Chain A
Amino acid sequence: DQQVKQNSPSLSVQEGRISILNCDYTNSMFDYFLWYKKYPAEGPTFLISISSIKDKNEDGRFTVFLNKSAKHLSLHIVPSQPGDSAVYFCAATPTAGGTSYGKLTFGQGTILTVHP
């Protein structure tokens, strides 16, 4: 049962344009969401996060949008740069107490390629 889904395995974007990566989740207990960037043979690098009390969080070129009613979040990268080419994972976690507290559930990842 895939609780966090990234339905687009890959995305190709021209340099300078906007990259939009999407993520859907099914578990209503998730209330904190994160985006990670990952290169092959390396650990994930944290990019940006959002709490369920917000619907938008912005950090430089990266903006994450959360639509709780649709259980959907997206990462916008503007403008996209060739150095942004990597695999992007969304992840979700509950922040309430219990055995799942702080455990991250990852999506399958989306390979972003930004062409010069």
Chain B
Amino acid sequence: GAVVSQHPSWVICKSGTSVKIECRSLDFQATTMFWYRQFPKQSLMLMATSNEGSKATYEQGVEKDKFLINHASLTLSTLTVTSAHPEDSSFYICSARRAAWDSNQPQHFGDGTRLSIL
């Protein structure tokens, strides 16, 4: 079964709204979680690395104030898209990494969130 739960799976909202996406590791503690973004027919692009108890590390070109990440516990990381606009519409996927290196599954992925901004 799924070991990473992502919620919600689909969000449609008006421009200017802030949207929060949750990523939970279900049966293990995840010291590190990752947030990806995928545009249609394109690859998964890493947005940021979320470390429990510390500030997230953002990839080049990703606006920190736009995409707020909070990793308050070992099983939960949240991504908040602030003041969302139509260009933020995308498929957002989180993944969680166990504390110890797992050679078979370095990251466990959630099922993604489809965000549509009208």
A residues touching B (Cβ–Cβ < 8 Å)?
32, 34, 36, 41-46, 49, 51, 89, 93, 95, 99, 102-109
Contact = CB atoms under 8 A, between A and B. Distances in A.
13 contacts: A43-B6, A43-B111, A89-B43, A89-B44, A95-B101, A102-B32, A102-B97, A102-B101, A102-B107, A104-B34, A105-B46, A106-B45, A109-B42
Given A51-B103, A109-B43, A43 B57 contact: no
Of B42, B45, B103, B106, chain A has the most CB atoms within 10 Å of the CB of B106
A36 B97 CA distance: 16
B43 A41 contact: no
Contact of A99 (B4, B34, B45, B57): B57
Interface string B22-52: 0000000000101000000011111001000
Interface in B49-97: 49, 57, 91, 93, 95, 97
Contacts of A99: 57
Question: Which of the four size classes fits the interface of chain B?
Answer: 20 to 34
A36 B107 CA distance: 11
B112 A43 contact: yes
Given A43-B6, A43-B93, A104 B43 contact: no
Given A34-B106, A51-B103, A104-B107, A42 B43 contact: no
Nearest to A105: B46
A110 to B, nearest CB: 11
Contacts of B4: 43
B45 to A, nearest CB: 8
A93 B42 contact: no
Given A41-B91, A44-B109, A99-B57, A106 B43 contact: yes
Contacts of B106: 32, 34, 49, 93, 102, 104
A62 to B, nearest CB: 13
